[in-house]
């Protein structure tokens, strides 16, 4: 059971259709819960530094691998639609003892927004969207899709994978030791492959033409404190998207991390963590004030 896990461990949650999704779980279970949702084509390891910062700050943290990603099960039928991702998240949240703060990056933010906004009863006490809004610039997402489609035949070495990442994100220094990438790769027949199901790429349903209206409606129904944190250099969320978001959710807070692109946490981790922790602390203070009354 989740309630018995203290410290850092991997846990598996049963979700829709008998699948299970993997999660890193850390921190004291008596503390407030934060759930982390990564972006498409990433794994829970993309939150590593943020995960550690949240645990150190006194939170119980659950960092999920979405279905078809990382150590989670691949969908036998290739179902990676938003409906499936939302259903999985709701299944996980139902197994957590208290309502968490949900933090989602990119696709994870879309999942969190739809799950929270469409729920018939409250399932989270706050929501953080990382460089995603109901409408987004497809030039940025096309850039991401091109990167994900470019190496479906894998890599001959870890250095080849690091070179591909450096070409995709030239603003982030290439690590001198690329071994950290190995957590996001799996070896098959002598080659290294990104650790996600390639069928995930076939779901054009995630294009804004299909999901924008749904996410706008969900945003208008969100009744919990919400933070949008975006990268100043993002090619996915620009001023136009932020302005539209503010009209949908005028009470939401918006923070821009200078010098960061779409992968905000990886580009400017210290600034990102500071923005997240300050927002979460305010939610805790509000909860304590309401309780004391």
DSSP 125: S
pTM above 0.95, yes or no: no
User: Mean pLDDT, the chain, as a whole number?
Assistant: 90
pLDDT at 72 over 90: yes
Q: Where are the domains of the chain?
A: 2-138+208-292
29: CB partners within 8 A, 6+ apart: 2, 3, 4, 5, 6, 60, 97
Q: What does each C-alpha distance from 86 to 170, 225, 261 come to in angstroms?
A: 33, 20, 26
Cα 254 off chain centre by: 17
Considering only CA atoms, which of 81, 89, 36, 41 is closest in space to residue 197? 41
Quick: pLDDT tens for 100-148.
999 999 999 999 999 999 999 999 999 999 999 999 998 888 888 899 8
For residues 210 and 114, the answer to whether their CB atoms sit within 8 Å is: no
Cα 36 off chain centre by: 6
CATH of 2-138+208-292, picked from 1.10.3720.10, 3.40.50.1820, 3.30.930.10, 3.40.50.2020, is 3.40.50.1820
Tokens of 106: 């990119």
């Amino acid at each position: 059971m989740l309630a018995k896990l203290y410290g850092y461990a991997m846990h598996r949650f049963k979700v829709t259709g008998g699948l299970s999704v993997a999660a890193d779980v850390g921190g004291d279970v008596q503390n407030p819960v934060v759930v982390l949702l990564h972006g498409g084509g990433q794994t829970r390891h993309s939150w590593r530094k943020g995960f550690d910062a949240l645990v150190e700050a006194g939170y119980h943290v659950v960092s999920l691998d979405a279905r078809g990603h990382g150590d989670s099960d691949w969908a036998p039928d290739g179902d990676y639609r938003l409906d499936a991702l939302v259903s999985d998240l709701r299944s996980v949240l139902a197994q957590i003892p208290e309502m968490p703060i949900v933090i989602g990056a990119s696709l994870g933010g879309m999942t969190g927004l739809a799950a929270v906004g469409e729920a018939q009863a409250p399932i989270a006490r706050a929501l953080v969207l990382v460089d995603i809004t109901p409408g987004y610039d497809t030039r940025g997402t096309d850039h991401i899709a091109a990167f994900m489609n470019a190496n479906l035949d894998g890599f001959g070495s870890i250095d080849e994978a690091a070179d591909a990442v450096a070409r995709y994100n030239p603003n982030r220094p290439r690590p001198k030791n690329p071994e950290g990438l190995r957590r996001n790769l799996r070896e098959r027949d002598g080659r290294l492959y990104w650790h996600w199901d390639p069928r995930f790429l076939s779901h054009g349903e995630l294009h804004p033409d299909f999901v924008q209206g749904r996410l706008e409606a969900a945003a208008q129904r969100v009744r919990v404190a919400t933070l949008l944190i975006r990268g100043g250099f993002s090619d996915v969320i620009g001023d136009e998207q932020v302005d539209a978001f503010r009209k949908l959710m005028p009470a939401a807070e918006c923070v821009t991390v200078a010098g960061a692109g779409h992968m905000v946490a990886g580009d400017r981790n210290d600034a990102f963590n500071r923005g997240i922790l300050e927002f979460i602390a305010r939610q805790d203070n509000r909860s304590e004030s309401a309780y004391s009354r």
